[in-house]
């Protein structure tokens, strides 16, 4: 099974950025933790991060042309207003899970709305780096049991 993790804007600043909200671990720490989790479960994982909306859209399209099995995406602030990313998700047949490190529902009002989550399989929010691993686990269960 092949999955891709797409991290959006400002997630390259993990570890330095608002540590009280996002913790002190870096994007490299996140990738290492996920790689370990995936290698224990025969999952091939790709990691990508961009601060650019169009780049994220290209990677969503590419996941379709490479016939990946799933996308785990933290769209960062694009979550709350990018109809273009939403349309990209709708344009592919690959299941997408939206993840967030912080709980977007107990922060500022504008973070409560995701324009992307309605076209995803679901949203996992508020569990720190565990949010990503929970999304990987969903895809593992789906592979093992053929459920969605």
Given the residues 37, 81, 100, 145, the one annotated as active site: 100
Which CB, 82 or 95, lies closer to ligand DQA? 82
Helical residues (DSSP H) of 47-113, grouped into ranges: 53-65, 83-91
Q: Give the three-class secondary structure for 29.
A: helix
The residue to which tokens 């990677």 are assigned: 59
Q: Which of 15, 102, 119, 137 binds ligand DQA (CB under 6 A)?
A: 102
Given the residues 22, 47, 105, 145, the one annotated as active site: 22
101 lines the binding site for ligand DQA (CB under 6 A): yes
Which CB, 37 or 111, lies closer to ligand DQA? 111
Alpha-carbon distance 148 to 76, whole Å?
Answer: 25
Stretches 23-31, 47-55, 59-67, 71-79: which one binds ligand DQA (CB under 6 A)?
Answer: 71-79
Alpha-carbon distance 111 to 122, whole Å?
Answer: 16
83 is an active site residue: no
Alpha-carbon distance 75 to 98, whole Å?
Answer: 8
Active-site positions read 22, 100
């Amino acid at each position: 099974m092949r999955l891709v993790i797409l991290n959006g804007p400002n997630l390259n600043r993990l570890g330095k950025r608002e540590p009280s909200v996002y913790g002190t671990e870096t994007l490299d720490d996140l990738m290492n933790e996920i790689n370990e989790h995936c290698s224990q479960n025969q999952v091939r994982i790709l990691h990508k991060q961009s601060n650019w909306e169009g780049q994220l859209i290209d990677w969503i399209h590419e996941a379709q042309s490479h016939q990946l099995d799933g996308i785990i995406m933290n769209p960062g602030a694009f979550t709350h207003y990018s109809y273009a990313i939403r349309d990209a998700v709708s344009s592919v047949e690959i299941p997408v899970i939206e993840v967030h490190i912080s709980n977007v529902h107990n922060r500022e009002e504008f973070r409560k709305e995701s324009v992307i989550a309605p076209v995803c399989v679901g949203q996992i929010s508020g569990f720190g780096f565990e949010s990503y691993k929970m999304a990987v686990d969903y895809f593992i269960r789906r592979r093992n049991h053929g459920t969605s």
